[in-house]
């Protein structure tokens, strides 16, 4: 089938919108795909790797809504040699999310759809018109949405900052200072508040600034391997990133405490 329109498949606030398909060779015959009818659809994807172009296939296996009522989708990629029309031929597109604090059994292979987003290697966000980003729950971009910082509600800048919080990217350069499984708690100054500390006795980790899109201070790194003899984070400037004060934590867009 030929899609109708320049892009045809539209994402609005993370949700797939209805699309009109035209019969190949007979464009007067059309059908509209919407809602649950998207499940089981096969998508032809053109992938370029190292200058070589490949045709690949993905299937939208199922969709639903996460804990914050945000649309979420489970995708599979075609394992060549099997029946392209069989769901069993599609392996999970997303790496499994093993977050012990999430509903991992239900959403462990799912992804959010973010319209018009490009993420650079250093974690910087920019607009990419006429595209959508597959944000796996197992990755920083998707996990930031799972933590409540949905760009459809809070905007791209806060979503970008939240991805840096996920990765403990204190310098805002794409360098992570955490490992999988390190626990953290969040508190923010949003209205209404998305996250707040459940235990005030936890040790301060960092204070995060929206305008700078990085941490302004770090008291204790999330990565256990960096804690012994820790004296500060070196972001390449003349001085180490300072330790946090109570005022730093209170004034931060997002403040974090290590929970393990």
**CA–CA dist 94, 17 (Å, integer):** 22
Cβ neighbours of residue 29 closer than 8 Å, sequence gap 6 or more? 22, 23
Instruction: Give the pLDDT confidence score for residue 194 in this predicted structure.
Output: 96
Residues 149, 151, 154: CA angle, nearest 5 degrees: 70
**CA–CA dist 35, 175 (Å, integer):** 39
Instruction: Give the pLDDT confidence score for residue 147 in this predicted structure.
Output: 96
β-strand partners of 204 = 257
Q: Which of 156, 135, 130, 143 is nearest to 11 (CA)?
A: 130
Cβ neighbours of residue 191 closer than 8 Å, sequence gap 6 or more? none
Instruction: Give the pLDDT confidence score for residue 199 in this predicted structure.
Output: 79
SS3 string, 158-226, reads HHHHHHHHHHCCCCCCCCCCCCCCCCEEEEECCCCCCCCCCCCCCEEEEEEECCCCEEEEECCCCCHHH
Instruction: Give the pLDDT confidence score for residue 38 in this predicted structure.
Output: 94
Instruction: Give the pLDDT confidence score for residue 102 in this predicted structure.
Output: 72
**CA–CA dist 128, 132 (Å, integer):** 8
Q: 3-class DSSP state for residue 22?
A: strand
**CA–CA dist 6, 13 (Å, integer):** 19
30-37, long-range: CB within 8 Å, 24+ apart, which pairs? 30/4, 36/63
Instruction: Give the pLDDT confidence score for residue 25 in this predicted structure.
Output: 81
Tokens 């769901």 belong to which residue? 87
Q: What is the pTM of this model?
A: 0.92
pLDDT tens digits in sequence order for the chain, 260 residues long:
555 544 478 899 999 999 888 887 887 888 889 999 999 999 988 888 899 998 889 999 999 999 899 999 999 999 777 789 899 999 999 999 988 777 667 899 999 999 999 999 999 999 999 889 999 999 999 999 999 999 999 999 999 999 999 999 999 999 999 998 899 999 999 999 999 998 778 999 999 999 999 999 999 999 999 999 999 999 998 999 999 999 999 999 999 999 88
């Amino acid at each position: 089938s030929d899609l109708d329109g320049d892009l045809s498949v539209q994402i609005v606030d993370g949700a797939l919108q209805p699309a009109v398909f035209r019969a190949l060779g007979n464009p007067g015959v059309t059908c509209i795909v919407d809602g649950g009818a998207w499940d089981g659809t096969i998508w032809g994807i053109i992938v370029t790797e190292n200058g070589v172009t490949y045709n690949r296939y993905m299937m939208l296996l199922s969709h639903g809504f996460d804990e914050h009522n945000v649309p979420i989708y489970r995708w599979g990629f075609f394992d060549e040699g099997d029946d392209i029309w069989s769901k069993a031929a599609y392996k999970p597109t997303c790496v499994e999310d093993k977050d012990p604090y999430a509903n991992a059994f239900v959403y462990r292979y799912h992804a959010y759809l973010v319209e018009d987003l490009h993420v650079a290697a250093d974690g910087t966000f920019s607009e990419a018109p006429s595209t959508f980003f597959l944000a796996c729950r197992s990755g920083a971009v998707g996990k930031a949405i799972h933590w409540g910082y949905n760009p459809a509600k809070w905007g791209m800048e806060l979503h970008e900052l939240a991805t840096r919080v996920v990765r403990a990217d204190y310098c805002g350069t794409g360098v992570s200072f955490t490992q999988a499984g390190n626990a953290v708690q969040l508190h923010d100054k949003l209205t209404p508040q998305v996250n707040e500390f459940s235990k005030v006795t936890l040790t301060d980790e960092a204070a995060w600034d929206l305008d700078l899109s990085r941490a302004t201070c770090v008291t204790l790194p999330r990565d256990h391997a960096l804690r012994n003899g820790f004296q500060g984070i070196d972001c390449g400037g003349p001085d180490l990133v300072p330790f946090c004060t109570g005022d730093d934590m209170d004034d931060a867009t997002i403040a974090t405490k290590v929970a393990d």
